[in-house]
Chain A
Amino acid sequence: MDKPSIAVHKFSSCDGCQLAFLNAGEDLLKLAGLVDIRHFLEAGVADEYARVDIAFVEGSVSTTDELTRIQRVRGCSRYLVTLGACATAGGLQALRNLDGSNTAWKHAVYAQPGFIHTLDQAEPVSAHVKVDFELWGCPVNGRQVLAAVQQLLFGVAPLEQRDKVCMECKRQHATCVMVTEGRPCLGPVTRTGCGALCPRFGRDCYACFGPAENPNTAALSRRLEGLGLAPADVARRFLFINSHAPAFNEAGRQHYRQGFSDD
């Protein structure tokens, strides 16, 4: 039997999630033995529209060219897996969706805006084509990516981790930075997958893995305000990485408006 084939595509992104593969070290070599890597520019393999079993897509869909490309990628892939915050929820680029003035910005920033073919909104891949599995994170966690690959190689859907970061924090015996230091941690509304990386180093979670299931953003917002954050700061916490994810978008916008009406 032929080895399963994979492709890793880049859209609007910083390449950091692709590094989850490249930084896998020994596991990357092992992976190369298990699958046929047909397209992965960062690793020097180029055959963009080769037919593959699994396509990993990094980055949001932000330009007219990307809109065409994502349709073609979908068309030549059996499974499509998004890799990281940009591909899954629009990422940082989606911040420009918030004020709806893409054209004005384009003209303000670029000398020749005619060459810039951006879409009005930077959107997650799922806004345009069917996505089989989403890997969150800014960046994704390498272990989680490889675990997902292995399940797909077994022909089984990867295990989705939708619990809150707090659950993992406690399993790791990390001290709660909100309770002991009053830090504005977003762990209670953020999905796990990172291994509670920030709290384990005494930092508050900044929600890079996106909303967990059943996130009570309203209750957490009230708590953050109780810790002394101004509404605009609460908004920034929710809108930082995953501003286009509906739960965070709604919570952020609410405080964002409030923040400006206070001015």
Chain B
Amino acid sequence: MNHYLPREAQIVARTEESPNTFSLHLQLTDAAPYSFAPGQFNMLYLYGSGEVPISIVSGSAEDGVLVHTIRALGRITKGLSALRVGDRIGLRGPYGRGWPMRAAEEHDLIIVTGGLGCAPAVSIIHHVLMHRERYGHLSILQGVKHTDDLIWREQYDAWAGLPDVEVLLAADVAEPGWRGHVGLVTALFDQLSLRAGQTVAMLCGPELMMRAAAQDLHERGLAADAIHLSMERNMQCAVGHCGHCQFGGHFVCRDGPVFAWPQVRELLGVRGF
């Protein structure tokens, strides 16, 4: 089997999430099966220009539509941002190891996200809400630099209104009228009623945030291997061959992007790796 060959996908809908963030809702045009686990990613191919790894934010592939939220920063993502409904791109995947959703069943879940690293975590929320009976209390903690960076506000509000779900937001710099915390996302941990042995944490965002959050949660009683985090590195082949995504001995694309904290603790946040 050739893992490098994309399949064709068509944009069936497009949503604007912020001035430079958008979501492409994609449908594969062939009939071959496709399934994924929350936390996995696809390689999206912009015709003639190249590929880029994008995590899947949908909860499942049941309706055949795969949602990818993309920030237009680089040459490929900017190119993708110019596409419209009906346009076609290449897609191959899913790749990597996703969140440990099975092992987290029967547990409370704390999801901590920072900056714009929230996309890989959104699939967790969708998955939990689709299978609500399998999981305990769900805490969603989101930190941003500036309140303007917060995307999916309505969605956060909607989630906050659900039973047994709490949403806590933090911003380093807040607009007037901000009701969330001003400061670091880790400061929100004081507001949680943690059942240490019963809780699984899933982190996604800047490495220094994840390092601090993992350490803090561990000190609050969570076992080191109950803390999981999603790493980001340069991924070109997505199958552990091209070497760009290496993080110490790990190929993030294949061995991750989701790791248990002890697997990556040694180099987490160390500049240069």
Q: Which residues of A contact B (CB under 8 A)?
A: 150-151, 154-159
Contacts and interface: CB of A to CB of B under 8 A. Distances in A.
Contacts of A150: 48
A213 to B, nearest CB: 15
A155 B79 contact: yes
A256 to B, nearest CB: 35
B78 A157 contact: yes
Interface residues of B, number: 10
Interface of B: 46-50, 75-76, 78-79, 82
B75 A159 contact: yes
Contacts of B47: 154
A154 B79 contact: yes
A155 B49 CA distance: 10
8 contacts: A151-B49, A151-B75, A154-B49, A156-B79, A157-B75, A157-B78, A157-B79, A158-B75
Nearest to A151: B49
Q: Of A150, A156, A158, which is in contact with the most chain B CB atoms at under 10 Å from its CB?
A: A156
Contacts of B82: 155
Contacts of A157: 75, 78-79
B89 to A, nearest CB: 13
Given A155-B79, A158-B75, 5 more contacts: A156-B46, A156-B49, A156-B76, A157-B75, A157-B79
Contacts of B79: 154-157
A159 B46 CA distance: 13
B73 to A, nearest CB: 11
A239 to B, nearest CB: 32
Nearest to B74: A157
Q: Lowest 3 CB-CB distances: which A-B pairs, in order?
A: A156-B79, A157-B75, A156-B49
A154 B83 CA distance: 11
A156 B50 CA distance: 10
A150 B46 CA distance: 14
A151 B46 CA distance: 11
A104 to B, nearest CB: 46
Contacts of B48: 150-151, 154, 156
Nearest to B79: A156
A159 B51 CA distance: 13
A163 to B, nearest CB: 14
B33 to A, nearest CB: 32
A157 B48 CA distance: 12
A151 B49 CA distance: 7
A158 B78 CA distance: 12
Nearest to B50: A159
A51 B37 CA distance: 50
A155 B50 CA distance: 13
Contacts of B76: 156
Nearest to A160: B75
Nearest to A150: B48
B218 to A, nearest CB: 37
B36 to A, nearest CB: 27
Contacts of B75: 151, 156-159
B169 to A, nearest CB: 34
A159 B49 CA distance: 8
A150 B75 CA distance: 14
Nearest to B76: A156
Nearest to B80: A156
B59 to A, nearest CB: 31
Contacts of A156: 46, 48-49, 75-76, 78-79
A157 to B, nearest CB: 4
B167 to A, nearest CB: 37
Contacts of A158: 75
